[in-house]
Amino acid sequence: MTALNSPHDRFFKAVFGRTEVAAEFLERYLPTTAAQALNWKTLRTAKDSFLDPELALHPADLLYAVDLRDGGPGYVHVLFEHKSYVESRIGLDLLRYRVRIWEQWLNAGNSGRLPVVVPVVVYHGAATWRVSRQFADEVEEAPALRAYVPACVYHLIDLSGYQDDELRGAVMLHTALLTLKYIFRDELRERLPEILGLLRDLAQSSMGLDYVRTLLRYLAQAASIDRLSGDELRQAVTQTLSGGDELMLTIAEQWEQQATERGIQKGIQRGIQKGIEKGIEQGEARLLKQLLTWRFGSLPAWAEARLAGAEPARLETWAKRVLDAQTLDAVFVEGNEGNEGNSRAV
């Protein structure tokens, strides 16, 4: 399958890859007649290999197998759209997916009538969705031949079209939908305390804590600095959630490890030692810049210049000061290298 490079895709798949969340979501937001025709207790995630890898147009697609109320087989195919523009050929993409699903079903040795495939598009982008919801509208208009053109209707769930009180569900689903709705909006900053407040009880369990970390990582990665700065996120988390400082520290540590690994891997792929060293340096510099922004807000030009020209050893020295330093100047001050053992590592 295609790599999940987008934080939106990663968050969507992490949340809705949980069958209990997906079942609640689809039962709530599919049309009533469609929802009542499916046995949601039987919903399970279909293996990724079920779909043709060559057709992996959208890396966050999810395919669920589900039984009909009368016992027949069925599938729900969910396509997640977060682009700033609306995909005009989405009806054709969905038609191709349906054909592949049926082909794979037959290749698996099944026979009889083909299973029902319910296509669902979940959208939370900034642009207004104006694309028709049936494939037939993409085909040349010929009234006398209309019977030969498949309609292939899909169901659209456009989160921007829902009022907040319409976005309901258990805590994971509720907070995920609200976050996805506001991630591209300026109102995210003012809505965040309320969204985080819903997580207070959830954060007390290990499974719930994993989801809280997932949500916070998504907010930190996907929200524009104009809508939510790192410092504003940290402040909202520490004021709303018990152990908020520790949560943000854990996320920062995970990012440091990931950035270092990405830098090393990039160098290895180039096959030269210089590439390895450069990859590590760039990865650490980007991470340190993000950590400094979380702690002290927007960085002045002189700080960015220091980061851009620093060697890996100096970046490591500065990184060890981030948590304990009271000011930005204290991070970069010269002459404290001998005291680094008293600082906590980021």
SS3 string, the chain, reads CCCCCCHHHHHHHHHHCCHHHHHHHHHHHCCHHHHHCEEEEEEEECCHHHCCHHHCCCCCCEEEEEEECCCCEEEEEEEEECCCCCCCCHHHHHHHHHHHHHHHHHHCCCCCCCCEEEEEEEECCCCCCCCCCEHHHHCCCCHHHHHHCCCCECEEEEHHHCCHHHCCCCHHHHHHHHHHHHCCCCCHHHHHHHHHHCCCCHHHCHHHHHHHHHHHHHHHHHCCCCCCCHHHHHHHHHHHCCCHHHHHHHHHHHHHHHHHHHHHHHHHHHCCHHHHHHHHHHHHHHHHHHHHHHHHCCCCHHHHHHHHCCCHHHHHHHHHHCCCCCCHHHHHCCCCHHHHHHCCCC
pTM: 0.69
Local confidence pLDDT in tens for the 346 residues of the chain: 344 557 888 899 899 999 999 999 999 999 999 999 999 999 998 865 455 555 554 556 899 999 999 889 999 999 888 766 677 788 888 998 899 899 989 998 999 999 999 999 999 988 888 889 999 999 999 999 999 999 999 999 999 889 999 999 999 999 999 999 999 888 998 999 999 988 887 766 667 788 888 888 888 888 777 788 777 888 888 888 777 677 776 665 555 554 555 554 554 445 434 433 444 445 567 777 877 877 777 788 888 888 887 877 788 788 878 767 778 888 888 754 444 433 333 3
